[in-house]
Amino acid sequence: MGNSTFQGVGLLQKRYTSILAVVAICLVVAVVGYGASSDEKPVPARFVLDNTGGRVISSHVEHADDYGYSCDDCHHGGSENENVSPVPCGSCHPKEFDNDFKIKHQTAFPDKEYCLRCHDDAPKAGTQLAEDDRPDPEMIPTRGDAFHDQCMGCHQSEEAGPYGEQSCYECHARK
């Protein structure tokens, strides 16, 4: 009986040693993986521009990597803080300046510093800005106008991509 008890204890120790080794390896891999992780956000594979002219789907990677555009080339202040994603275009450039936009865009920004890009003062919680502190909507392009201004600046020649009055559906999805 004494010999079999020692064999059982030996098997139990081997089992726990194996489990402990696996746990230690997992812990080392987790620590190394966490330490080696990058704070840099990956470039999205594509971007979608929803607008009244039909959805535009384009390659973000192609514009960033192949053509060498930086965030600031397309996004307002896109690389001021590389750890913050750019604010969606529709936060400032709506389809139209209706009441729905006025309500929703107030919650679209990470901090009140963004308010000062268009407004003379940041609104206080639960209040609206005085008429004098609001920008003139006529001076802010709608989403479609902003996209055209931004995209067509590069796509205005035959070498740079779809060009000309008859080429709308080379970018825009038909409705």
Judge contact between 51 and 143, C-beta under 8 A.
yes
Sequence-distant (6+) residues with CB within 8 A of 161 are 154, 155, 170, 171
The rounded mean pLDDT for the chain is 76
Judge contact between 55 and 48, C-beta under 8 A.
yes
The 8-class DSSP code of residue 13 comes to H
107-141 confidence digits (pLDDT tens): 888 777 788 878 877 777 667 777 777 788 788 88
Rounded mean pLDDT, 31-57: 74
pTM for the complete prediction? 0.57
C-alpha–C-alpha distance, residues 47 and 120, integer Å: 32
Alpha-carbon dihedral of residues 109, 114, 120, 123, nearest 10 degrees?
A: 30
Looking at residue 49, what is its pLDDT?
80
Judge contact between 45 and 59, C-beta under 8 A.
yes
Q: Which residue has the higher pLDDT, 160 or 70?
A: 70
The pLDDT-based confidence of 24 (bands split at 50, 70, 90) is very high
Looking at residue 63, what is its pLDDT?
83
Looking at residue 39, what is its pLDDT?
59
C-alpha–C-alpha distance, residues 108 and 114, integer Å: 10
pLDDT at 36 over 80: no
137-163 confidence digits (pLDDT tens): 788 888 888 888 888 777 776 666 666
Helix, strand or coil, per DSSP, at residue 172 = strand
